[in-house]
Structures are given as structure tokens and as C-alpha cells.
Structure 1
Amino acid sequence: MKVTRVLNAKRPNKGKVAALREQARRLGQVRTEVWQRFGSVGGVGLSDRKIRDGWLKEGRAFPVSANAWKETLRDAKGNITACMEAAKVKVRQSVFRHTRDEAEQKRLFTALKRNEWTGDSYLRRLMRKHWHHGHNHTHNQIIVRSDNYTTFLLGGCVWIKIPGLVKGQRIAILLNTTITPTGTLRVIIKDDDRIEVHTTVNVETKQDCGKRTIGIDKGYSEVLVDSDGDHHGQELGQVLTEQSDKLKAKYQRRSKLRALANTTRNPHKREHIRRFNLGRKKLNRQMDKTHASIRDVVFQSVHKVVDKAAVIAAEDLTAPMSGKSFGKNVNRRLASWTKGVIAEALDSVSSRRGSAVVLVNPAYTSQIDSRNGCLLGKRQGDRFYCFDGVVLQADQNAARNVLARLFDLDIDRFMPYRQVKTILQARTERLRLGLLNQDSSCSPVRVLSTESELPKNCHEQLCLGF
């Protein structure tokens, strides 16, 4: 398994930083042109090789070395292709909802896969809806091919030499590592003159996960709550709230200073405010530190879950969900929720440690009574009030429902929430009438989500699909 490692340059001098920044700026112009000309339908079916050959045939000249702009072209075209493939995922979902004819679905999916959707009016309309023309905002990166740099050891640390703007001259960078980087490098020049070198390494995959099957509920006040009732990463909510409140106060003060600079008639005062009061170097450094601590908490929590489980049932939260609106402060804090970091941690840790993450339909998992699998109860804060007076812990109740959803044959992952609601309402009505069908998905054998009531060979059954 390949992962990215970030190496930092140790004490780079200002001359090297300025030379690298100028080279990155010029390569940013190449990246901008690629996005402008090939960032939409004009780039469909064109590989970076074809674009490169066309530019060479035209005699295009760039103020950087040939290898530098060719690698930048390849990287930018790869990003454009990734955006297009992400849009295809949403288009496939729309096609599946549009028609149930298997022959028609196969025709549309084949045209989408072969990039022949430009000739189909329906697919072309969907792609225009989900794939917007991108723009480049990256002007601080240099892509260095694996055969275009050299490494050497000096003073117990690794140095790399990468090409500069002057032909034949290389820039030596001291790294904070004793392991020689390999493969293609991505050199990033930060705003505070720090230099990062991103490289890929092969990580050994281990089989040191647990042996159980559990469900998890992703939260804001804590990272995860599993179906056993264990809370992982309970300090996450406090960190997110403190960061959001501090940024709110800081941005309010910055807005007042910016308004003062725009309205003052004193040019020296205006320039002083913009130079010394509206910078982002310190703010970016503080935010990087906070984000690093958040990632640390999230990954530690996921490791604790993987220590127990070989199969993890989690909610599929990739689709945008519109819920009720809270106060502006609550909405602001919830906007900083790191569900993307949690999903990344689950995917990375499970792949490296041999466990499997199975995504399930998230509809109504927080509103179901986990004891009977029906819509009988109400969630208020951290408590779930059942119809018979029993009070459950809301997050644990949701985690147990996620685990039960893993074995629910009636509700699949991509079922619309309205159909899920219809199924749950029918089960609730049957439970109220006392007419439970023992062969249905809401029978007592199926609705209970504790591990003692799951099939004994559930782990083997699930692993057959992986």
C-alpha cells in the first residue's frame, strides 16, 4: 500500500526559497493554461501525452525547463481527470434512478466509461450539471520526476538536488530525514517560507485487527461511538468549538480593520493596516497546528476501533443531507465537522491493518429504537427517549442501528431516504398491531443489533465479498 510522506526542509536560505518560489510561479501559469483549455469538455478523450505532443509540434516555449512543464502538465491533467471521474459517480446514480431497463443502463454506463458521453444528450446534460469547469489556484508547487533529481547523505541527513531555472544549476535542499526519498516528488513552498517535499512510500499491510463485527456512529462531540457503548476521541468537540469561536472573533476584528483601511483617507495608515494587521502567516500556522491535532485525535480513535473489529459498519455520509437549521453559532460550529477526516482515517487504517469498512444507508439510524428496529422514540441531545419510558444513550443507540442496518436485506446503501422511511413506518405499524412476520426483516431475530444475536458466521459471510 502506497502512502504519502511529508518531509520538511531544514533551515532553507532566502535565496533558495526565492528561486523555488519563482519557478513554482512560472509553473503555475502552465497549470492555469491547462485548466483553462482542458478543464471541461474540451479535454475529454485527450491524454497529457497528446497535449504535450501538440504543444511540441506547435513549438510552444515556456520559461522553465522542459521536464518541469511536462510534469506539471501531467499532474494538472490528472487532477482534471479525477474531477471528471468524481462527477461520473453522481451521474451513475442519476442514471440508475432514471431507468430500470438493464440494457439501457448498460449502454449509458458503457458510454460514460469510454468517455463517449459527449455524443449522448442525456449524459451530456448530467455531466454539465455535476462537472463544472475548474480553475487553478496552485502557484506554489513543483513536480520533480524520479530521474530528475539526485540525493546524497551529508552530516547524517539526506540532501536532494533539484533543477532550478538556470540550465545546469541545481538547488540543494536539506531534509529532516535519514531515509532517501524515491519516486516523483512534489515540492511545496509555503507562505511562511517553509518547504515541504511530498513523496510516496510503500507501507506494509498487517493483519493485526480484531475479530468482531461492530457498528460505529460518527459524532461531533466525540470522533466515534461504537455499538458496545465505548466513546472514542471525546476531546474532538471541544477542539472544534474552541477553534470555531476563536476564528469568529478574529475574523470580526479583521473585518473592522479592513473596513477602516478601505475608508481611511490616510494612505500611510491604509498601507500599515494591510501590511501588519491583515496577514495570514501566523493564522495559517495556528490553523495547521489545530488541524494536525484534530487528525491525531481522529486516527487514534480509529485505531482503537480497529483493535476490536474485523468488520466495521459505518454510515455513508458522502451525499449532502439537508436537515433542520439551528442557530447561527451552532451551524457555524457544525460546518467545521471533520467527517471527511474520519472517512479518510477509516479507509487508511482499515486498509493497513486488514479490517473491512462496510458503508450502509444512514437514513433514520438516529431515530430508530435499536431494541425493536422501529420508529418508536425521540432523540433529544445525547438521550433517546423510547415509547415505553426507557432512556438510551443516543449515540450508542445509533451505532447499534448502524450495525443492524448491515444485515438488513430490505434497505440497501443507495436507497432513497423516502423509501427507507416507508419501510420503517410499515415495520412500526406491524409492531403496533402485534402482527410481526417472523420471515420479515423486522422479526425479533433480525432487528436486535447486539452481537450475541447476529449470525455466528457473519464475519465469514461478509469477508466473502472483500
Structure 2
Amino acid sequence: MKLTRIHHCKNLNVQKYKQLEKQAVLLGRIRSEVWAKYGAISGLNISDRAIRDAWMKESRDFGVSANAWKETLRDCIGDIKAYREASKDKVKQAIRKRTSCNNEQKRLYTLLKKDEWMTDNFLHRQMRNHFKHGVNHTHNQIIVRADMCKTFELNGQCWLKVPSLVPRQTIKIPLNTTVDFAPQGTLRIILKNGNVEVHSTYDAVETQDCGQETVGVDKGYSEAFVDSDGEVYGNGLGKLISSESDYLNQKYKRRNKLRAISKAKPHKKQKIELNNLGRKKLDKRQDTQKAKLKTLIFTATHKLVDKAKVIVAEDLTSPIQSKRNYGKNTNRRLNTWAKGLLANALTSISHRRGSTVHLVNSAYTSQSDSFLHGLLIGTRKGDRFHRFNGEVVQADWNAARNVLARLNDNEISRYTPYKTVKRILQERTDRYKSELTDSGSSYTLGNKTLTECELLLDYV
């Protein structure tokens, strides 16, 4: 498993930064051309080597070294392929909804895998919907091949030498590390507001130091995870997200007001744009916020893996459909929920530490009563779940118990449509209610007469 290590260089010499910036802009034009020509159907069944050979026959001159534009071309084609493969996941969901015939599914999957989906009208329509023509927005990156860069030590600090636009001349960049942890392999140099980031990959060390339990987890907003035993991981996540969302809301309101003033008063436009509408502080704050979120979530995930060998989690890859109107401010905060980061943390850390993650269907795990085998009895209100007998339990804990139960549910698979899940749960609920007859203060279940307290104990 590959991980990314980021080295920083702050306050680089202005002339060096301008040379790197000029090179990144020229390479950005190549990226735009590649995405424009090969970012859709025309990019099928064509490799970066074929494009490279064609450009070399044409004697194309991009104003940069040959190694630089070749690596940029390879990187772009890789991005386009990754984008196309991600689109196929959505199409596979559509295939499962369209037919339950194994032979038909196999035929469609095969056409999709071989990139022959244009021969089938259904697949072609689906790919048009999910595989839109890509556009390049990257003009600040340089890909440096491993044999084109070198590191050396000066006064205990690591320095990196990368090619410049002038042949046989290099640019020396100081990094915030030592030679022992110097970047290796193919490097990605990213320029941000006068600062330089050097991204390198390395092999993750895999261990087998996970716990031994099997738990279900619910990915929460106020906290990162709550497991089926009621233990909370990553408390304070919601406060961190909400406070930043509220700050940006007020910040952008004021910026929009200043932008409106600059349009209404042209003589003030230049001064306002220069002093009040910059991005440096906002970008720096955004990077700090991402680092805080990542630290909190990854720390919580490590704590979870310390306990569990098998982790059962909800599959939240599809958009969450909801008819509830939470209000403008609540919706804004929920839109910043870091569910993608939670999923990535679970996948990467469990793989490195020998744990296993099983994804299950997420439909109605928060609306059903886990103490009554997931029946649709009870109501969720915020962080509380109100059971039919008046008892109130923590909503995320209740959901985590339902998630764990889905692991061995033979009727509800990971890809069962949510309407089918609701029908199955409703049928179970109706069967339970038909077996349960009210007899005053006692209940009849089959041949047994139970009090309400005994009934609860029987189903816990």
C-alpha cells in the first residue's frame, strides 16, 4: 500500500519560485490539451506512449524539457483513466437496478470492463451521464522523474535539485526535513501562494496489531464513530466542522458585499481587490482545517482498530436522499461533513493494521429499533432514538447495532435498493405486530403471555 509524504519549502527565493511557476504554467497548457483531446470517448484504448510517439514524430515543442512533458502526459492519462473507472462504479449500480439476471449482469459487466460499452445502448447512456468530458484546472504542478532529481545535505538540512527551463541547469529547493527522510521516487511539486510542496510516495509498513472484536460502527457528525458497544471515537468532530462552516459563512458574506461595492464603484475596484479579496489567508486557514480534521479522524480510527478485527460500516458512497428540511444553517453545516475522509481512514488504517472492513446497506439503520431486531418501530429525533415504550437511547449507538446486524442479514445485501429494504423491514414489523396482541397491561406473543417489561427483556 502506497502512502504520500509531503515536504514543505516556505519563503523560497523569489527568482527560483518564478522559474518553477513559469514551468508549471507551460505544463498546465499540456494538461489542458490532453484533457481537451482525450478526456472523453477519444481517450479510450489509447496509451500515453502512443500519444508521446505521435507528438515526437510531429517534433512538438512545448518550451519545457522532454522528460517534463512526457511525465505530465503520463500523469494526465492516468487521471483520465481513474476518472473513467470511478464513473463505472455508478454504472454498475445502475446495472444492478436494471436486472437481476446473472447472465445479463455478467454480459454488461464484461462490456464495461473491456471499454466496449459503446456497443450497448443502455451502457452508452449511463456512461454519458456519469463520464462527462473532463476539463483541466491544474496549472501549478510539476512531475519530476526519479532519475531527474537529487537530494543533498547542507548545514543539517535537506536540499532538492530539480531541472529548470534552462538545459543542464537545476533549481535547488530547501526542504523542512533531513536527508534520512528525503523524498524519493517520482515527485510531484505543487506551488501554492509562494510556497512549495514536494509530494512523494512510500510503502506503508503493514502490521498485525489490531484488536480481536467484531463491532458495527455508525459514522457520525458530532463524533467520528460510535460502535455497537456504545463507545465513542473522535468526539468534537461536529464542533470543529460547524465552527469553521459558521466562520466561512460570515466571511464570504462580507467578501460578497465588498465585491458588490467594487462593481458599483469602479474607482475603488482595484484597491478592494488588492487588499480585501485575496486568497492567501483563506487558503492557509483551509489547509489548517483539513489538517485538524485529518488528525482527529485518523486518531479516532486507530483507536477503533485497537479494539476491532472486523469492522462493519455503512456504505455511504451513494448520495443520501432525505425529504427532511433541516433549515438553511443546518443544511450548510451538514454539507461540510467529512464522510469521504472517514471512509478513507477506515480503509487505509484497517488494511495497514490487519483489520477487515465490511460495508453493508445503510438504508433505515437510523430509523429502526435495534433492540427489536431492526423493526420500524420508534422515532429518531436528533441524537436520540425514542423507542415505542418511551425509552430513549443514543441514536448513533442504536444505528451501530443495526449496522452490525446487517452483516448476517440474508435478505438485505449491500446493494439492495432502499425501497426494497423498507418493504422488507415493514413486512417484518407487520409480522411482529400480528403476533403481538394487546391484552390490557400484558401482551400475548405466540403461546406466551408477557408483561411489557418481560417483552422488552425477551427482545433485547
Provide the C-alpha distance between the structure 1 equivalents of 2:282 and 2:131, rounded to a whole number of angstroms: 33
The residue type paired with residue 168 of structure 1 is R
Q: 1:447-458 to 2 correspondence within 5 Å?
A: none
Q: 1:220-369 to 2 correspondence within 5 Å?
A: 220-266=221-267, 269-323=268-322, 324-369=324-369
Provide the C-alpha distance between the structure 2 equivalents of 1:187 and 1:242, rounded to a whole number of angstroms: 32
The residue type paired with residue 404 of structure 2 is L
Secondary structure of 1:379's aligned partner:
strand
* C-alpha distance after superposition, 1:110-137 (max 9, x if no partner): 1211112223322211110111011000
The residue type paired with residue 319 of structure 1 is S
Q: Where in structure 1 are there 5+ consecutive unaligned residues?
A: 438-447, 454-466
Secondary structure of 1:22's aligned partner:
helix
Q: Where in structure 2 are there 5+ consecutive unaligned residues?
A: 437-444, 447-456
Provide the C-alpha distance between the structure 2 equivalents of 1:213 and 1:335, rounded to a whole number of angstroms: 31
Shift of 1:55: 1.2
Say yes or no: does 1:216 pair with 2:217.
Answer: yes
2:5 paired residue number: 5
Secondary structure of 1:223's aligned partner:
strand
2:452 paired residue number: none
Provide the C-alpha distance between the structure 2 equivalents of 1:418 and 1:209, rounded to a whole number of angstroms: 36
2:419 paired residue number: 418
Shift of 1:104: 2.7
Number of residue pairs matched? 437
Q: 1:52-201 to 2 correspondence within 5 Å?
A: 52-178=52-178, 179-191=181-193, 193-201=194-202
Provide the C-alpha distance between the structure 2 equivalents of 1:170 and 1:205, rounded to a whole number of angstroms: 37
Provide the C-alpha distance between the structure 2 equivalents of 1:402 and 1:346, rounded to a whole number of angstroms: 15
* C-alpha distance after superposition, 1:67-98 (max 9, x if no partner): 00010000011000001001111112212222
Provide the C-alpha distance between the structure 2 equivalents of 1:161 and 1:153, rounded to a whole number of angstroms: 11
TM-score normalised to the size of structure 1? Answer: 0.91
1:380 paired residue number: 381
Provide the C-alpha distance between the structure 1 equivalents of 2:173 and 2:317, rounded to a whole number of angstroms: 40
Secondary structure of 1:147's aligned partner:
helix
2:48 paired residue number: 48
The residue type paired with residue 26 of structure 2 is R
Residues 97 and 417 in structure 2, CA contact (< 8 A), matched pair in contact too:
no
Provide the C-alpha distance between the structure 2 equivalents of 1:168 and 1:6, rounded to a whole number of angstroms: 27
Q: 1:7-22 to 2 correspondence within 5 Å?
A: 7-22=7-22
2:440 paired residue number: none
The residue type paired with residue 170 of structure 2 is R
Provide the C-alpha distance between the structure 1 equivalents of 2:42 and 2:171, rounded to a whole number of angstroms: 37
Secondary structure of 1:233's aligned partner:
strand
Secondary structure of 1:213's aligned partner:
strand
Between 39-48 and 175-184, report the one with greater CA deviation: 175-184
The residue type paired with residue 53 of structure 2 is D
Say yes or no: does 1:427 pair with 2:428.
Answer: yes
Shift of 1:2: 1.5
Provide the C-alpha distance between the structure 2 equivalents of 1:104 and 1:434, rounded to a whole number of angstroms: 41
The residue type paired with residue 288 of structure 2 is K
Provide the C-alpha distance between the structure 2 equivalents of 1:281 and 1:410, rounded to a whole number of angstroms: 53
Shift of 1:265: 3.9
Say yes or no: does 1:396 pair with 2:419.
Answer: no
Residues 366 and 398 in structure 2, CA contact (< 8 A), matched pair in contact too:
yes
1:36 paired residue number: 36
1:458 paired residue number: none
The residue type paired with residue 17 of structure 2 is V
Shift of 1:407: 1.2
Provide the C-alpha distance between the structure 2 equivalents of 1:265 and 1:210, rounded to a whole number of angstroms: 64
Between 280-289 and 117-126, report the one with greater CA deviation: 117-126
Provide the C-alpha distance between the structure 2 equivalents of 1:252 and 1:180, rounded to a whole number of angstroms: 43
Shift of 1:10: 5.0
Q: Pairwise CA RMSD of aligned residues?
A: 1.6
Secondary structure of 2:3's aligned partner:
strand
* C-alpha distance after superposition, 1:390-434 (max 9, x if no partner): 211111111111111111111000000011011101111111122
* C-alpha distance after superposition, 1:3-47 (max 9, x if no partner): 000011254211111110110011000000000000000111111
1:444 paired residue number: none
The residue type paired with residue 183 of structure 2 is P
Provide the C-alpha distance between the structure 2 equivalents of 1:104 and 1:381, rounded to a whole number of angstroms: 43
TM-score normalised to the size of structure 2? Answer: 0.92
1:443 paired residue number: none
Between 389-398 and 8-17, report the one with greater CA deviation: 8-17
